[in-house]
């Protein structure tokens, strides 16, 4: 049996809705007295929904069960309010669960936010000691590691300057370095890398990867940055409304999180106004209907995507419009765009349905979002957007046998475009 | 096969479970916090730790002029400056421990909301930090005392050896009251407003700015229930040879102190695990 680092059993965390107390003793007493007499609470907000009574329970986490093995790098993703941070708070023992038990094996280093416990008046060196001690290191342990920590942080030059003079990047670097060098069996990170520069982010990810692979440390990582999740984690959990809705491979988890709900997939989309980009709310020339010539959104690697658009004009003149299609990965990184080379003429107050062919043959097997833009070319040659539909539909490219000689493709290293095999010179 | 875990997190705690061993493990943190509190207090000041001397010195001068000269509340037979200073530094130790401990949770919500360490570490380090300030002030007091002693104006007694016990008791008492207030202020901030006033009121209920001789005899039994009164009295008996040591009231004051500290720990224990949700 593989050794577990963390075992979470039936854990729920309950919060009370509404203000927790009136914030003052007087307010609480007032509310209590009013309730006693059956009158309206004088402290409830005017127009507040009466069906949510103050004190109604809200489950931030609802019966969570999760086992994390030793040496595993687990990513946790989910929309805001899904319960990710609450879960990490419980694990780092900042607050206690309402029900359930959590078993933890080993020491936890949590880096929930930048520079936790840094005192602005103390120097970098003093803060390393301080922060280390807060994370549970003894002075001796820090003594033996201090040089390594300073080197890793890249702020040696400023180490004896009070940290209140540091830039926010330097803050993160120092904070991360301390936590990364803590002899903890479990590391918890919540969006800590968002502030550091790219080079440092990369260094941190490498360090964490090493920690998991070579030292057998367990890493829990929460982020909205799918690329870092992809680089670091080997397993991923998707949370939603206090539940774990998916537990498994990273790519599937990301696809699920990014909204690829295959069950409700439609290849025939009728546009309603709230699907439009709000910057162009009521265009006069609009895309009304998109139809993909693929029954369930799947295309084979190397195939081209055929689709048709129905475009409607409310202009009193014939309009010459162009169509642009933008392709993004499921994680939201733009891949490329493709536009028509000559305009399509829409008769005044009329509509046209046209078929197009998008060259998707270079896209590696994965899921993609498509965005559509209608635009005109103005008098001075600048383009002028008429209608913008962002991430309106998705396609999934599926692998063919010949793709990459049957080997797996690692998008985090190689990107999302395959330009074919490398040919030998004659 | 059941696996053993080094830490198990469960929702409810027992009425009183105080992990003394865990606190010991974090002793380095306590020392670093003490250092941090002390150093950061005087960073970017020209006089630095000298401020620890100037503050009580100024208060004592004010007391000597207002309560001593104008109101005539000092005890007879001892130099009024020493009389007020003795009360002042002892009271100052107690009151600063109390107010700072009372702000522990709300003032450190930033750290406490992010990482776990035994929460009691914070108030303990506060009490120790103030002990440093007290020591500086006490040395100043001893110097002045020695000067007056040489002139024959005061006569310290052997009770001076009780100083550690007095300090310990003040630390325990302020810790007790402080954590009661801080446990309550996580939810109700009202008490925070009251605390400045409350401490001042408490001072006037304690013979700091006047001699105990002016308290009418019929109120004495109630008056002596204030655990700080016997402490200040004993302090003055010890160093200024004023009055006589009152064992009964001294023991009662210890009883009250232990009761308050126990209540404080009980309350602290209740809120410790989840106070971050309400703070």
Gap between the terminal Cα atoms of chain B: 41
In the predicted model, is pLDDT for residue A18 greater than 60? no
Give a yes or no: residue B108 inside a domain: yes
Average pLDDT over residues A323-347: 90
In the predicted model, is pLDDT for residue A146 greater than 60? yes
Taking the C-alpha atoms of residue B210 and residue B206, their distance in angstroms, rounded to an integer, is 8
A404: closest CA of chain B, how far (Å): 44
Chain B CB contacts of A17 below 8 Å: none
Average pLDDT over residues A247-257: 80
Point out the residue among B26, B43, B277 whose CB comes nearest to the CB of A95.
Answer: B277
In chain B, how many domains are there? 1
Percent of chain A scoring above 90 in pLDDT? 12
A95 CB within 8 Å of a chain B CB: yes
Name the CATH superfamily for A4-29+55-257: P-loop containing nucleotide triphosphate hydrolases (3.40.50.300)
- CATH 2.70.50.60 correct for A263-414: yes
Give a yes or no: residue B36 inside a domain: no
Give a yes or no: residue B24 inside a domain: no
What confidence score (pLDDT) does residue A47 get?
44
Give a yes or no: residue B196 inside a domain: yes
Taking the C-alpha atoms of residue B95 and residue B38, their distance in angstroms, rounded to an integer, is 17
The answer to whether A104 and A110 are in contact (CB under 8 A) is no
Task: Using CA coordinates, name the residue in chain B closest to A6.
Answer: B5
Pairing of strands A367-377, A383-398: antiparallel
Of A338, A335, A336, give the one whose Cα is nearest residue A411: A335
The ipTM estimated for the assembled molecules is: 0.75
Chain segment A394-426, per-residue pLDDT in tens: 888 887 777 777 777 877 788 888 888 888 887
Task: Using CA coordinates, name the residue in chain B closest to A8.
Answer: B9
Chain segment B104-157, per-residue pLDDT in tens: 777 777 778 777 888 888 888 989 999 999 999 999 999 999 999 898 888 888
In the predicted model, is pLDDT for residue A262 greater than 60? no
CB contact under 8 A, B188 and A126: no
Other Cβ atoms within 10 Å of B226 Cβ, number: 17
B26: closest CA of chain A, how far (Å): 7
Task: Using CA coordinates, name the residue in chain A closest to B36.
Answer: A122
Domain limits, chain A:
4-29+55-257, 263-414
Point out the residue among A96, A104, A119 whose CB comes nearest to the CB of B7.
Answer: A104
The answer to whether B102 and B182 are in contact (CB under 8 A) is yes
Q: Which of A29-38, A103-112, B222-231 has the lowest mean pLDDT?
A: A29-38
Q: Which has more pLDDT, A291 or A118?
A: A291
Of A324, A338, A396, give the one whose Cα is nearest residue A364: A396
A203 CB within 8 Å of a chain B CB: no
What confidence score (pLDDT) does residue A49 get?
41
Q: Choosing among A15, A70, A134, which should be mutated to test the B contact, i.e. which has the most B CBs within 10 A?
A: A134
Q: Which has more pLDDT, A32 or B55?
A: B55
Give a yes or no: residue B173 inside a domain: yes
B49: closest CA of chain A, how far (Å): 15
A238: closest CA of chain B, how far (Å): 23
**pLDDT confidence band for A385 (50 / 70 / 90):** confident
CB contact under 8 A, B3 and A26: no
Other Cβ atoms within 10 Å of A7 Cβ, number: 17
Point out the residue among B11, B110, B187 whose CB comes nearest to the CB of A99.
Answer: B11
Chain segment A194-211, per-residue pLDDT in tens: 666 778 778 888 888 888
What confidence score (pLDDT) does residue B179 get?
87
The domain in which residue B56 lies consists of 51-277
């Amino acid at each position: 049996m593989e050794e577990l680092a963390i075992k979470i059993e039936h854990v729920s965390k309950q919060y009370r809705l509404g203000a927790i107390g009136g914030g003052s003793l007087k307010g609480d007493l007032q509310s209590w007295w009013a309730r006693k007499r059956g009158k309206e609470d004088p402290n409830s907000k005017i127009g507040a929904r009466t069906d949510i009574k103050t004190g109604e329970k809200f489950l931030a986490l609802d019966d969570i069960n999760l086992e994390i093995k030793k040496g595993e790098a687990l990513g946790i993703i989910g929309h805001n309010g899904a319960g990710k941070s609450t879960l990490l708070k419980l694990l780092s023992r900042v607050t206690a669960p309402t029900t359930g038990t959590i078993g933890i094996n080993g020491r936890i280093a949590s880096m929930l936010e930048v520079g936790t416990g840094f005192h602005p008046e103390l120097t970098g060196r003093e803060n390393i000691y301080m922060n280390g001690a807060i994370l549970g290191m003894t002075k001796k342990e820090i003594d033996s590691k201090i040089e390594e920590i300073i080197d890793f942080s890249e702020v040696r030059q400023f180490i004896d300057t009070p940290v209140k003079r540091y830039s926010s990047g330097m803050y993160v670097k120092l904070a991360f370095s301390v936590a990364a060098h803590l002899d903890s069996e479990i590391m918890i990170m919540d969006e800590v890398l968002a502030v550091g520069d790219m080079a440092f982010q990369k260094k941190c990810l490498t360090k964490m990867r090493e920690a998991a692979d070579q030292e057998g440390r367990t890493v829990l990582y929460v982020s909205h940055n799918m690329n870092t999740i992809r680089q670091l984690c080997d397993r991923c959990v998707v949370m939603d409304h206090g539940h774990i809705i998916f537990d498994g491979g990273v790519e599937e988890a990301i696809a699920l999180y990014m909204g690829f709900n295959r069950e409700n997939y439609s290849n025939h989309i009728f546009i309603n106004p709230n699907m439009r980009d709000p910057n162009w709310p009521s265009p006069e020339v609009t895309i009304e209907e998109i139809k993909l010539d693929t029954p369930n959104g799947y295309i084979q690697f190397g195939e081209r995507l055929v689709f048709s658009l129905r475009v409607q004009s409310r202009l009193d003149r014939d309009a010459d419009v162009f169509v642009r299609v933008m392709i993004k990965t499921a994680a939201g990184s733009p891949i490329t765009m493709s536009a028509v080379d000559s305009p399509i003429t829409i008769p005044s107050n009329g509509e046209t349905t046209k078929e197009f062919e998008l060259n998707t043959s270079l896209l590696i097997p994965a899921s993609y979002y498509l965005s559509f833009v209608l635009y005109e070319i103005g008098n001075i040659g600048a383009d002028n957007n008429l209608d913008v539909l962002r991430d309106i539909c998705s396609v999934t490219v599926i692998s063919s046998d010949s793709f990459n000689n049957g080997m797996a493709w690692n998008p985090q290293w190689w990107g999302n475009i395959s330009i074919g095999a490398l040919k030998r010179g004659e | 096969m059941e696996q053993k875990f080094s830490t198990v997190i469960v929702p409810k705690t027992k009425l009183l479970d105080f992990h003394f061993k865990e606190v010991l493990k974090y002793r380095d943190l306590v020392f670093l916090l003490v250092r941090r509190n002390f150093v950061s207090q005087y960073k970017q000041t020209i006089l630095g730790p000298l401020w620890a001397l100037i503050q009580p010195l100024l208060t004592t001068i004010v007391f000597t002029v207002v309560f001593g000269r104008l109101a005539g509340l000092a005890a007879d037979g001892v130099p009024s400056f020493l009389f007020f200073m003795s009360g002042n530094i002892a009271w100052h130790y107690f009151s600063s421990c109390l107010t700072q401990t009372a702000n522990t949770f709300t003032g450190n919500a930033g750290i406490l909301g992010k990482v776990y360490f035994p929460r009691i570490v914070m108030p303990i380090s506060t009490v120790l930090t103030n002990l440093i300030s007290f020591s500086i002030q006490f040395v100043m007091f001893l110097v002045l005392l020695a000067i007056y002693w040489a002139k024959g104006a005061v006569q310290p007694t052997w009770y001076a050896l009780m100083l550690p016990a007095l300090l310990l008791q003040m630390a325990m008492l302020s810790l007790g009251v402080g954590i009661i207030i801080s446990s309550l202020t996580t939810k109700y901030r009202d008490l925070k407003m009251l605390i400045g006033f409350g401490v001042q009121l408490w001072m006037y209920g304690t013979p700091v700015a006047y001699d105990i001789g002016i308290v009418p005899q019929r109120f004495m039994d109630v008056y002596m229930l204030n655990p700080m009164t016997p402490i200040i009295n004993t302090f003055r008996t010890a160093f200024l040879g004023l009055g006589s040591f009152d064992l009964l009231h001294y023991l009662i004051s210890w009883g009250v102190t232990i009761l308050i500290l126990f209540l404080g720990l009980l309350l602290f224990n209740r809120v410790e695990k989840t106070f971050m949700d309400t703070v």
